[in-house]
């Protein structure tokens, strides 16, 4: 699949994961008063589960087994999880940016990391 088509598919999958991710964040923040950093991290996990399934099926043509791609996906998501926590802490807690705006900024930064890492390592052809 071409880079452009993969990026477009990854973006579409990310929109679905975005709905799950942000829905979880807003629910946990508004209904339960959870700190936005923790809500963002919970949403990131929920969106990540959906992202693996849809990206494996629709974005990346891979010969990697679920076991091999799965642990690689988990590593990439762990880095993204850490980046999400760091950026949300900086933007929302330290700099006082409203949590939804902070989450949007964080999403853009982590999206780039996730796409490049999944394309180049998680689902890349074994060498």
**Dihedral Cα 113, 117, 119, 121, nearest 10 deg:** 180
* Residue 93 confidence (pLDDT): 94
* Residue 9 confidence (pLDDT): 96
Q: What is the pLDDT of residues 54-93, one digit of tens each?
A: 999 899 988 889 999 999 999 999 999 899 999 999 999 9
* Residue 72 confidence (pLDDT): 96
Query: Whole-angstrom Cα distance, residue 18 to residue 25?
Result: 10
The better pLDDT of the pair 61, 97 is held by: 97
Domain ranges of the chain: 3-122
Q: What is the pLDDT of residues 22-37, one digit of tens each?
A: 899 999 999 999 998 8
């Amino acid at each position: 699949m071409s880079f452009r088509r993969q990026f477009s598919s990854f973006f579409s999958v990310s929109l679905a994961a975005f709905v799950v991710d942000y829905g979880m964040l807003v629910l946990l923040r508004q209904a339960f008063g959870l700190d936005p950093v923790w809500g963002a991290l919970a949403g990131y996990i929920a969106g990540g589960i959906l992202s693996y399934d849809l990206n494996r099926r629709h974005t990346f043509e891979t010969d990697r087994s679920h076991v091999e791609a799965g642990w690689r996906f988990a590593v990439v998501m762990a880095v993204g999880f850490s980046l999400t926590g760091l950026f949300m802490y900086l933007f929302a807690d330290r700099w006082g940016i409203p949590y939804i705006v902070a989450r949007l900024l964080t999403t853009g930064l982590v999206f780039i990391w996730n796409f490049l890492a999944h394309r180049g390592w998680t689902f890349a052809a074994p060498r």
